[in-house]
Amino acid sequence: MKLLVDKTKFLKAWNMAERSAGQRSTISVLSGVKCEASGDGVSLKATDLKTSINCLADGVEVLSEGSAIFPVKNIGEFFKKAPGETFTIEVEKGKATVISGSSVYSFSTYPVSEFPKLPSSDKAEPFFKAICMDLRRLLEEGTFSGSPGEEFPQYLSAGMVQTDEERVKVVSTDGRRLSLSQGVVSVDGEPDQVLLPLAGLRELQRSLSTVEGNEEVRVLKDDAQVYFRTGTIEFSVRRVESRFPPYEKVLSTDRTSWLTIDREIFIEALERVEVVVRDFSRMVV
């Protein structure tokens, strides 16, 4: 395999794949990014077995087809710090060489045969379709209250994505607070709900930040995974085997008082209070 790479364009796809690699995994091949070069272009694949990504890399000319798994820890830094605007990558018999200007960097790649087969949405059923900027807002607002760690019960560190006839809702809770965001989307099939780990949803947010805001995102699902597809990215998240509590009971519709307040003024007031109220003080506002 031999590639001529435009560094700036290539790094956009590389950074997404790099973040999805299992860099803390004891399985060494999971800490790499699989690069596949063919006549159709170059795709980058990575997984930590909970989330997976398959994205097309722009700015790469395929001089010779093939595939290789690049270790993230070393080669990723060299890609970013390589001098000049372009560099070449050549892989032969498990050895890779990167040439950028007068700099030459050689390293060993992982065996391609050891890379796991990634989940595919080819046989998945449609869930809903949303504009990218709307989906980013839903995820940002709806996952705010979830617990960042892997806690038990599992729904505390997960977000629920729920559809009805024409809306999608994203809900999360850490047991003390609850956040809910909803929006109008194009719902495919029957109303349903899935539970996804917050870590995967937040990585999805970072990946979607590279996508044009008005681009459509297709969401599909099967019994094990939920898939988010754009024109150049397929991001999958493994479903959590748990059930979200009936949050509707918390959101009572029997209200007697309403308050409308300027958002910026409210935030400024909360920031002033935060100076006094810290986590260690256990004070209640």
Tell me the mean pLDDT in the region 157-184. 92
**Single-letter amino acid, residue 220:** L
More confident residue, 73 or 228: 228
Q: Which CATH class is domain 125-249?
A: alpha beta
Regarding beta strands 103-108 and 178-184, do their DSSP bridges make them parallel or antiparallel, or are they unpaired? unpaired
- Model pTM greater than 0.85? yes
125-249: same fold as 2-114? yes
Higher pLDDT, 138 or 279: 138
Fold of 2-114: DNA Polymerase III; Chain A, domain 2 (3.10.150)
Query: Tens of pLDDT along 127-170?
Result: 999 999 999 999 999 999 988 777 678 889 999 999 998 899 99
Per-residue pLDDT, 284: 56
Is residue 182 over pLDDT 60? Answer: yes
- C-alpha 138/C-alpha 78 separation (Å) is 36
Lowest-pLDDT range, 28-32, 49-53, 89-93, 149-153? Answer: 149-153
Which of 86, 49, 44 lies closest to 69 in space, CA to CA? 44
32 vs 18: CA distance, rounded Å: 8
Alpha-carbon span 199 to 133, nearest angstrom: 20
Q: Is the dihedral of CA 179, 239, 113, 121 positive or negative?
A: negative
| Gap between the Cα atoms of 198 and 159, Å rounded | 6
Domains of the chain, by residue range, sit at 2-114, 125-249
Q: What is the residue type of 155?
A: Y
Give phi and psi for 233, each to the nearest 5: -130, 140
pLDDT at 117 over 80: yes
Q: How far apart are CA 31 and CA 190, in angstroms?
A: 38
Q: For the CA atoms of the chain, what is the radius of gyration?
A: 22
Higher pLDDT, 44 or 81: 44
Which tokens is 246 given? 């009936």
Predicted local confidence at residue 278, as pLDDT: 66
User: How do residues 11-21 score in pLDDT, each as one tens digit?
Assistant: 999 999 998 88
Indicate the residue type of 198: L
Q: What is the mean pLDDT of residues 64-71?
A: 93
Contact present, 163 and 187 (Cβ < 8 Å): yes
Q: What per-residue confidence (pLDDT) applies to 280?
A: 56
Reduced 3-state DSSP string for the chain: CEEEEEHHHHHHHHHHHHHHCCCCCCCHHHHEEEEEEECCEEEEEEECCCEEEEEEECCEEEEECEEEEEEHHHHHHHHHHCCCCEEEEEEECCEEEEEECCEEEEEECECHHHCCCCCCCCCCEEEEEEEHHHHHHHHHHHCCCCCCCCCCCHHHHEEEEEECCCEEEEEEECCCCEEEEEEECEECCCCCEEEEEHHHHHHHHHHHCCCCCCCEEEEEECCCEEEEECCCEEEEEECCCCCCCCHHHCCCCCCCCCCCCCHHHHHHHHHHHHHHCCHHHCCCC
Which of these, 233, 221, 229, 247, lies nearest to 160 by C-alpha position? 247
Q: What is the pLDDT of residue 282?
A: 55
